[in-house]
Structure 1
Amino acid sequence: MDSQQQAQTAALHRIEAWSNVTETQVQTLTRNRAVGQVAFSASLLASGSGHTGPFNTDTTLVFRGVVSNIGNAYNPHTGIFTAPVRGAYHFEFYVFGSGGSHDSVVGLEKNGEHVFIAQQNYSHVKEPF
């Protein structure tokens, strides 16, 4: 093979590789655009009041009272939110221990890693009622 043909073959391989990368990027952008907006709002109980726990091991809390689930990224059966697109997400929850013998602890995990934890020590809780 002469040098001109080798150069053309190398250029063709670079163009094919670039085309594959571009196609992957277009597919990702198309998928992200199709998802649109993502948001959910939920409470632990579907209705009424009650207690959750205590648990002896780490337990995924399943928020049964789904108020909204735009984009269906929250699974109300598993309690897991899966972010379908890159972006900033805001999570907010409140911890209240009504006294007793157990601390109230809740944490947020991302891909199995602790992001943050909130705890209320039962020995410092005063009954509000």
Structure 2
Amino acid sequence: MRTVAGFLPLLLCLVWTCAPVTTGDNITQGGNREKGAQLETQTDFSSEIWAELKQLRDMAVEQQVELRNSNRKIEELEQENKVLRVRMNASENKVEELKRENANLLDRVTKTENQNSVLETRMSSTESEVERLQSENADRPKVAFTVGLTDVGQIGPYNTELTLQFGKVFTNIGQAYSPSTGIFTAPVKGAYYFRFNAWDARYSNVLGIKLFHNNKMMTHCYDVNDNNGYIHVSNGFVLQLEKGDTIYMVLRSGSAIWDDTNNRTTFSGFLLFAQ
């Protein structure tokens, strides 16, 4: 557009330069005709020049309009670019924030997975230990009994010792105690606990009871009812038994014992641990 605007004055200068110069001395009739012809030629040339100038002016005006439109468009695009840059910066910041959050989440997931792995290892170890203990417990014998003497009341006195047959069976896990003989037979080698209670309430009666391990007496507990009151004896032992060893209670000679539905005279035992 600047080129066209600068070209217009140049064309005007050329038009004025091409105009003929005449004097009064050379004016003749033929000169008049020649002058008329030159004026026609000059007029046609000027018309063409002015037409071209008008065309150039129109082009310049059109280019000015286009240039203004282009400037506005460029300004709009620059403004849009500013907005896009702001949005792009915001998006990039958001992406960085999300990356940081994802990194934190990844760290947490990794830590959780590691913790889960440790817990799974511990759980597997615990389950294995439980299975081992269950297997041991399944193989370990279970032995426990509690029995009462009788519901009929008095037993004795007798002139000889009597193996007491505790006929009221409350518990007999493992069936190691025989109510028909009154004897407990150890099913396995191990440590066992035994306890007994004996009761009577008759005047001038001697209450005497013994605990035997095989044929060996472990204790002899007795008391005399000399005040016409209740008498009671009890004791307990932890004994090391071999498989097949026997434990039983004996009423000493000349003694009597009492039991009824109140279960005052009892005998109990159980396996502490096998060996």
Normalising by structure 2, what TM-score? 0.31
Contact 1:109 1:116 (8 Å CA) reproduced = yes
Structure 2 residue identity aligned to 1:39: A
Which residue of structure 1 lines up, in the alignment, with residue 213 of structure 2?
110
* Structure 1 unpaired stretches of 5+: 1-32
CA RMSD of aligned residues (A): 2.2
- Greater helix percent: which structure? 2
Structure 1 segment 11-30 matched on structure 2, within 5 A: none
Counterpart check, 1:58 vs 2:153: no
- Aligned-residue offset at 1:94: 1.5
Question: Which whole-Å CA distance do the structure 2 matches of 1:58 and 1:85 have between them?
Answer: 29
Which amino acid is the alignment partner of residue 144 of structure 2? A
Q: Which ranges in structure 2 are unaligned for 5 or more consecutive residues?
A: 1-137, 232-275
Aligned to 1:86: 189
Aligned residue number for residue 177 of structure 2 = 74
State the identity %.
Answer: 37
Structure 1 outlier segments of 4+, above 4 Å: none
The number of residues matched between the two structures is: 94
Q: 1:100 to 1:68 in 2, by over 3 A?
A: same
Structure whose alpha-carbon radius of gyration is higher: 2
Q: Check whether the contact 2:176–2:185 (CA below 8 A) recurs between aligned residues.
A: yes
Does 1:41 find its partner at 2:146? yes
* 2:223 maps to 1:120: yes
Specify the SS of the correspondent of 1:78. Answer: coil
The amino acid of 2:229's aligned partner reads: K
Q: CA deviation at 1:69?
A: 0.9
Compute the displacement of 1:68 (Å): 1.3
Query: SS where residue 108 of structure 1 aligns?
Result: strand
Does the Cα contact within 8 Å between 1:100 and 1:122 map onto a contact in 2? yes
Deviation at 1:124, TM superposition (A): 5.0
Moved more, 83-92 or 93-102: 93-102
Counterpart in 2 of 1:5?
none
SS in 2 for 1:99: coil
Kept in 1: contact 2:204–2:228 (CA 8 A): no
Q: Is the 8 A contact 1:97 1:104 kept in 2?
A: yes
How far apart are 1:76 and its partner, in Å?
A: 0.7
Deviations 1:65-117 (A, max 9, x none): 00111111101100000011122222222222212333001110011110011
Paired residue type of 2:156 = G
Q: 1:102 to 1:112 in 2, by over 3 A?
A: same
Report 1 or 2 for greater relative contact order, CA contacts < 8 Å, sequence distance ≥ 6. 2
In structure 1, C-alpha distance between the alignment counterparts of 2:219 and 2:139, rounded to whole Å: 31
Task: Say if 1:73 and 1:82, in contact at 8 Å, map to a contact too.
Answer: yes
Residue 51 of structure 1, CA deviation? 1.5
**Secondary structure of the structure 2 residue equivalent to 1:36:** coil
CA contact (8 A) 2:203 2:227 kept: no
1:127 shift after superposition: 5.1
- The DSSP-based 3-state class of the residue aligned with 1:126 is coil
Task: Return closer, same or farther for 1:35/1:123 CA change in 2, 3 Å cut-off.
Answer: same
